């Protein structure tokens, strides 16, 4: 390929992938009209893309409701990725232990592009809790897990994120790149991140990174709960518990990786 040339991307493929992502956000599926409104495409184009995805086996169309939903073919396609995702059982055990110890919901998330995506969830026992689900995504600048993952990235990647819009999603969301850069330095220094009304006005979170062999960042664990329960004292307490647990988990994952060599 000649120097300076650009790869011509298929807009049709990108549109089809966006349809999959949008439908995947709705557990009960979406109708043709609903999909058309969300993706801002004309009805004919949307229908053609949906019909193609149904024929390919990636979507299922209910004859009763006329709604489209994801098929399990996506799981089949991702089977090798899921199988190579690392020692998930060790991480699940840590999440369960943290939930039993604190009674709070605990989540393990990984970096995916410019977002954090939840891979594993352990529910807490409090009646009032924050109910995140596997697959939920969030921007990096407005959550504890997003900031703790971003803080461990290269300066180049951080510059890329800070050059993008930082939308305000709650009353205390950090939208100033300079302020966020200072926050990331603090996170690296103390080892954990806080989200105090930055993602939602009634929620607070605490997160810490998880490392594998050779200090490679694998993801992070966070506690999430209502702001009425997550006051300064509780946040500090949870941060200390999380730092200890993630350090032990990182050490266990490091040894697990060495044993596979």
pLDDT tens track for 168-226:
999 999 999 999 999 999 999 999 999 999 999 999 999 999 998 778 899 999 999 99
Q: Are strands 105-112 and 68-70 parallel, antiparallel or unpaired?
A: unpaired
b/e for 144-160, b at 16 or more Cβ within 10 A? bbbbbbbbbbeeeebee
Mean pLDDT, all residues of the chain: 89
pLDDT-derived band at 107, boundaries 50, 70, 90: very high
Mean pLDDT of all residues in 108-133: 88
For residue 204, the cross-strand partners are: 196, 225
Are 139 and 149 in contact by the 8 Å Cβ rule? The answer is: no
- pTM for this one? 0.72
Q: Give the C-alpha separation, 158 to 192, whole Å.
A: 17
Q: Give the pLDDT score at 47.
A: 95
* Residue 85, pLDDT above cutoff 60: no
* Alpha helical stretches, state H, 152-202: 155-163, 177-190
pLDDT-derived band at 25, boundaries 50, 70, 90: confident
pLDDT-derived band at 260, boundaries 50, 70, 90: low
Is residue 129 classed exposed, middle or buried when 0-12, 13-18 and 19+ CB atoms within 10 A define those classes? middle
Q: Give the pLDDT score at 207.
A: 98
The CA-atom distances, in angstroms, between 73 and each of 23, 68, 69, 70, 77 are 14, 14, 12, 8, 6
Q: Give the pLDDT score at 173.
A: 96
- CATH entry 1.10.10.10 includes domain 11-76: yes
From-to residues of CATH 3.30.450.40 in the chain: 84-259
From-to residues of CATH 1.10.10.10 in the chain: 11-76
CATH superfamily of the domain spanning 84-259:
GAF domain (3.30.450.40)
* Residue 236, pLDDT above cutoff 80: yes
Q: Give the C-alpha separation, 92 to 98, whole Å.
A: 10
Percent of the chain with pLDDT over 70: 91
Mean pLDDT of all residues in 15-20: 91
Q: Give the pLDDT score at 80.
A: 67
Q: How many CB atoms lie within 10 A of CB 197?
A: 15
Q: Are strands 59-61 and 68-70 parallel, antiparallel or unpaired?
A: antiparallel
Owner of token pair 């080892």: 191
């Amino acid at each position: 390929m000649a120097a300076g040339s650009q790869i011509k991307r298929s807009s049709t493929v990108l549109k089809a992938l966006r349809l999959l992502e949008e439908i995947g956000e709705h557990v009960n599926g979406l109708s043709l009209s609903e999909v058309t409104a969300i993706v801002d495409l004309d009805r004919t184009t949307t229908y053609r893309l949906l019909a193609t995805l149904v024929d390919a086996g990636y979507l299922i169309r209910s004859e009763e409701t006329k709604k489209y939903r994801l098929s399990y073919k996506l799981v089949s396609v991702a089977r090798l990725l899921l199988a190579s995702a690392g020692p998930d059982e060790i991480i699940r055990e840590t999440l369960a232990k943290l939930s039993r110890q604190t009674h709070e919901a605990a989540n393990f998330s990984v970096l995916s592009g410019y977002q954090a995506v939840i891979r594993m969830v352990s529910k807490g026992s409090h009646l009032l809790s924050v109910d995140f689900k596997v697959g939920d995504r969030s921007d990096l600048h407005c959550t504890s897990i997003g900031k703790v993952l971003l803080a461990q990235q290269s300066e180049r990647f951080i510059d890329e994120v800070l050059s993008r819009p930082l939308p305000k999603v709650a009353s205390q969301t950090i939208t100033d790149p300079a302020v966020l850069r200072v926050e990331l330095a603090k996170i690296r220094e103390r080892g954990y991140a806080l989200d105090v009304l930055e993602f939602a006005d009634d929620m607070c979170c605490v997160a810490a990174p998880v490392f594998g062999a050779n200090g490679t960042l694998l993801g992070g664990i966070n506690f999430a709960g209502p702001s009425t329960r997550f006051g300064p004292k509780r946040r500090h307490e949870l941060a200390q518990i999380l730092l200890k647990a993630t350090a032990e988990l990182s050490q266990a994952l490091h040894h697990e990786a060495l044993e596979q060599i």
